[in-house]
Amino acid sequence: MKKLHSYQLFMGFVLFLIGCQSGAKKEAKDEETTLTTEEILNESKEDLAKRMEWWTDAKFGMFIHWGPYAVPAGEYKGETVKGIAEWIMHRASIPVAEYEKYSRQFNPEKYDADEWVRIAKDAGMKYLVITSKHHDGFSLWDSEVSKYDVMDFSPIQRDLLEELKKACDKYDVKLCFYHSIMDWHHPDAQAPHYPEYNTKEKQNPNFQRYVDNYLYPQLTELVEKYDPHVLWFDGEWIPEWTHEHGVALYTYLRKLNPDLIINNRVDKGRQGMQGMNKGDEYLGDFGTPEQEILEGTSEFYWESCMTMNDSWGYKLKDDNWKSDEMLIHNLVDIVAKGGNYLLNVGPTAEGLIPGPSVERLASIGKWMKVNQEAIYETEIFEGGYKQGEDIRFTSKDDGATLYAISLKKPGKKLTLEGINPLEGSDIQLLGSNMKLTWSMEGNDLAISHPEAVSSDLQHAWTYKIKLAE
Ligand code: FHN
């Protein structure tokens, strides 16, 4: 062991004292902020609402599915593998050792976190959820717990999540992490999880060792190193993962960071793709409808996650892109029903968000620049979230301000049933200086346009109305 000189010994002692002090401070801080299990499991509606406030105000986020699966991009042995590209390891029954070749090739040299976050922000997205680890088990950050990560396994040798955190902090976009409970790479976790195997005998006997020695330590380093605002769990459907696991993990994480928001896939309550919990004994701060939108409103928090084409991970031959208009209509419909919209991009192995995604996000951003006040920080309209199939309502100022959003281009007259504006108030079409006139026809509001609505306004048209008390 190297001989230390007296100066170095003195500095070492000073640093030791500082370390003890900060450790004591950390202890003290922990005592002040750590919640008890009782407090966590019996959180009041008011405290939950306070914790969820930024999230419910935000309405719109970016989902990012990215990892070694972007290398094959849905292609294997000259064939296009059916289904979502991030499942290629399972769908094509690729053995771990062979799949690792993709991880060895994962080298996104064109990755520019600043550009990604700017694209999200310009689209009007207030938060982004990136796959820290998907089912394939590959970690997108420099994990002390694993060698199967960007620093120790792939040629990129960059902490991709650290770079994203810096960009999110710069643009005030909230960084959030997706994390898969199911892990096809870790030897203690990757039991065969599918119907043909779904029997007690086939479950991995060492799954708890994976939970204790890998899953928890990785989640702890994610929370402590990157301070994510949301942990978005997935892969909870495997038989090894139990309700008891979900409760323990939820409480552990909330003790680590009391402000953390955690989705309902941490536990076992989710009812399939419909995404909401089947009972209130199951934990999770919000429901997670997937590729679908709730039929109506819900008393629980919820967020619809959707792809822009048909795959979460980048898929070379998937050109089935939803139109910008459909994506905007989804956003309007979801927000009117009181939900959040988590819209996915699947970046390429080079680190680029696909062009069709960038184009759609730019179009959504153009619409949001005009109409964002009808989206952010709005509430469900007490008079009902819609009229027919083509009009949605959102509300603000404790119901005093109504936004009527028409999903069809209005003609000379727009009739809103049962809407009673404040006498003498003006009604405004957002993005237009047109002087609208209005009158009551029985209980219905008739809004007249002196001229045709400008073609500059596209996809959905928002009327801002001051309501009578
Ligand atoms: O299996 C995953 C899938 O790859 C993707 O991550 C979606 C996104 O929510 N979740 C699971 C399917 O329900």
The per-residue pLDDT string of the chain (469 residues; one tens digit each, 9 = 90 and over) reads 333 344 444 444 444 444 343 333 333 334 555 899 999 999 999 999 999 999 999 999 999 999 999 999 999 999 999 999 999 999 998 989 999 999 999 999 999 999 999 999 999 999 999 999 999 999 999 999 999 999 999 999 999 999 999 999 999 999 999 999 999 999 898 665 545 445 556 677 789 999 999 999 999 999 999 999 999 999 999 888 999 999 999 999 999 999 999 999 999 999 999 999 999 999 999 999 999 999 999 999 999 999 999 999 999 999 999 999 999 999 999 999 999 999 999 999 999 999 999 999 999 999 999 999 999 999 999 999 999 999 999 999 999 999 999 999 999 999 999 999 999 999 999 999 999 999 999 999 999 999 999 999 999 999 999 998 7
Ordered by start, the domain boundaries in the chain are 7-374, 386-466
Tell me which residue of 380, 419, 422 sits closest to 398, measured CA to CA. Answer: 380
Name the closest-CA residue to atom 7, ligand 1: 312
Cβ–ligand 1 distance for 129 under 6 Å, the answer no
Cβ–ligand 1 distance for 69 under 6 Å, the answer no
* Ligand 1 atom, smallest distance to 182 CA: 1
The domain 386-466 is placed in CATH, from the list 2.60.40.1180, 3.30.420.10, 1.10.1200.10, 2.40.128.260, at 2.60.40.1180
**What separation in angstroms does the CA of 337 have from each of 109, 221, 286?**
41, 36, 14
* Residue whose pair of structure tokens reads 């003498």 in the numeric block: 424
**What separation in angstroms does the CA of 200 have from each of 25, 194, 204, 283, 469?**
47, 12, 9, 25, 61
Cβ–ligand 1 distance for 303 under 6 Å, the answer no
Taking the centre of ligand 1 as the mean of its atom positions, its distance from the CA of residue 234, in whole angstroms, is 7
- Spatial CB neighbours of 373, under 8 Å, sequence gap ≥ 6: 396, 403, 430, 464
**What separation in angstroms does the CA of 106 have from each of 63, 111, 154, 314?**
20, 11, 6, 13
Structure tokens at 283: 């934990």
> What per-residue confidence (pLDDT) applies to 75?
98
Contact 178, 63 (CB under 8 A): yes
Q: Using DSSP bridges, classify how beta strands 461-466 and 428-429 pair: parallel, antiparallel or unpaired.
A: antiparallel
Q: Is-above-0.75 flag for pTM?
A: yes
> What per-residue confidence (pLDDT) applies to 58?
98
Structure tokens at 421: 């504006």
* Ligand 1 atom, smallest distance to 290 CA: 9
- H runs (alpha helix) in 159-241: 160-171, 207-210, 216-226
Contact 372, 403 (CB under 8 A): no
Taking the centre of ligand 1 as the mean of its atom positions, its distance from the CA of residue 248, in whole angstroms, is 23
Name the closest-CA residue to atom 10, ligand 1: 234
Site to substitute for ligand 1 among 312, 341, 345, most atoms within 8 A of C-beta: 312
The rounded distance, in Å, linking the Cα atoms of 132 and 232 is: 10
> What per-residue confidence (pLDDT) applies to 191?
62
The string of DSSP letters for 335-369 reads HHTT-EEEEEE---TTS---HHHHHHHHHHHHHHH
The rounded distance, in Å, linking the Cα atoms of 93 and 192 is: 11
CATH T-level fold of 7-374: TIM Barrel (3.20.20)
Site to substitute for ligand 1 among 66, 181, 233, 234, most atoms within 8 A of C-beta: 234
Taking the centre of ligand 1 as the mean of its atom positions, its distance from the CA of residue 287, in whole angstroms, is 14
Cβ–ligand 1 distance for 159 under 6 Å, the answer no
- Spatial CB neighbours of 278, under 8 Å, sequence gap ≥ 6: 269, 270, 271
Site to substitute for ligand 1 among 84, 263, 341, most atoms within 8 A of C-beta: 84
The rounded distance, in Å, linking the Cα atoms of 177 and 215 is: 14
> What per-residue confidence (pLDDT) applies to 360?
98
Q: Residues 441-445: contacts with CB within 8 Å, 24+ apart? A: 441/415, 443/417, 443/418, 444/415, 444/416, 444/417, 444/418, 444/419, 445/415, 445/416, 445/419, 445/420, 445/421
* Ligand 1 atom, smallest distance to 232 CA: 9
Burial of 304 from C-beta contacts in 10 A (0-12 / 13-18 / 19+): buried
> What per-residue confidence (pLDDT) applies to 205?
78
Q: Residues 144-150: contacts with CB within 8 Å, 24+ apart? A: 144/217, 144/221, 145/214, 145/217, 145/218, 145/221, 146/214, 146/218, 148/103, 148/185, 150/106
Taking the centre of ligand 1 as the mean of its atom positions, its distance from the CA of residue 21, in whole angstroms, is 44
> What per-residue confidence (pLDDT) applies to 197?
47
Tell me which residue of 325, 257, 333 sits closest to 302, measured CA to CA. Answer: 333
Phi, psi values for residue 24, rounded to 5°: -65, -45
SS3 of residue 142 by DSSP: coil
Cβ–ligand 1 distance for 312 under 6 Å, the answer yes
* Ligand 1 atom, smallest distance to 305 CA: 9
> What per-residue confidence (pLDDT) applies to 20?
40
Cβ–ligand 1 distance for 86 under 6 Å, the answer yes
